[in-house]
Amino acid sequence: MFIDIARLLQAHNNPPNYLLTWLNHPMSLTDKLRDFSGDAELEVLKQYWTSPNWWDKQVLGIAEKSVFHRDILMFSHQIPCWYARSIIPEQTYKANDHFFNRLTHESLGSIVFSESNVARVQLVNYPITPQCIEYYWLPNFLKREEKEISDSQFFNVPRLGGMQESATLTQSRGQAGGKDKERCNLLQKEQLWTRLSLFTAKEGLNFYLIEILLPGLLGIMK
């Protein structure tokens, strides 16, 4: 099943030219970052088995009872450049466990292109804003970038899943006051560009990788 891009787009919007080579890069973004800046370092935020959330089911069409999620940040010279989530249905994982077990020490993007049984069959890119669920997969990044804000409940919200996470963060924004609230409002105006890849593994089973490019990448490019 291919990704329905119409479900992802809020309105027609073209990416800025300076991001095109990153959004449309056909190989590993990790390798591109390392070649460009001389450094690429992965930090695993969390990885876990869970029931498919609303986004998994409605956007990706996953119907299985269990999926593997792995959330990472990719840094260059200690600057966070993108957030990524691997989404692997249980059947796909079990049929290719020798491959996915490598995720304990490698990024998904760095290993898929060296595996003959894995192929990317679709790559789409689209913008996200605070009106998108994907935006609220980034609390650790926001916490890392805004750590000078000492008393903001917004940046201490537990990581939850899907639409519940969005609702929790909205409530926390309302409780933040003064300077914190002003900074939160500025964050709400951000637009972040996203790559979503559909891969097939052995037996034609699907898995997915979403990469959300962060403002730090622009700083690396300058």
Report pLDDT digits (tens) over 178-208: 333 433 333 444 688 999 999 998 888 999 9
Structure confidence by residue, pLDDT tens digits, 156-179: 333 333 333 333 333 333 333 333
Q: Is 171 contained in some domain?
A: no
Q: Is 34 contained in some domain?
A: yes
As a whole number of angstroms, the distance between CA 68 and CA 48 comes to: 6
Supply the pLDDT for residue 166: 32
β partners of residue 128: 192
Q: Is 153 contained in some domain?
A: no
- Domain of residue 205: give its range: 5-129+191-221
β partners of residue 123: 197
Q: Is 76 contained in some domain?
A: yes
As a whole number of angstroms, the distance between CA 81 and CA 74 comes to: 6
Closest CA to 140 of 126, 163, 160: 160
Q: How many domains does the chain have?
A: 1
36: domain CATH number is 3.40.1410.10
Q: Is 145 contained in some domain?
A: no
As a whole number of angstroms, the distance between CA 76 and CA 74 comes to: 7
* Dihedral sign of CA atoms 1, 192, 71, 133 in order: negative
Q: Is 181 contained in some domain?
A: no
In this structure, the strands spanning 206-213 and 192-200 are antiparallel
Model confidence at 90, pLDDT cuts 50, 70, 90, reads very high
Model confidence at 75, pLDDT cuts 50, 70, 90, reads very high
Q: Is 165 contained in some domain?
A: no
As a whole number of angstroms, the distance between CA 23 and CA 218 comes to: 13
* 144: pLDDT strictly greater than 50: no
As a whole number of angstroms, the distance between CA 144 and CA 155 comes to: 9
* 1: pLDDT strictly greater than 70: no
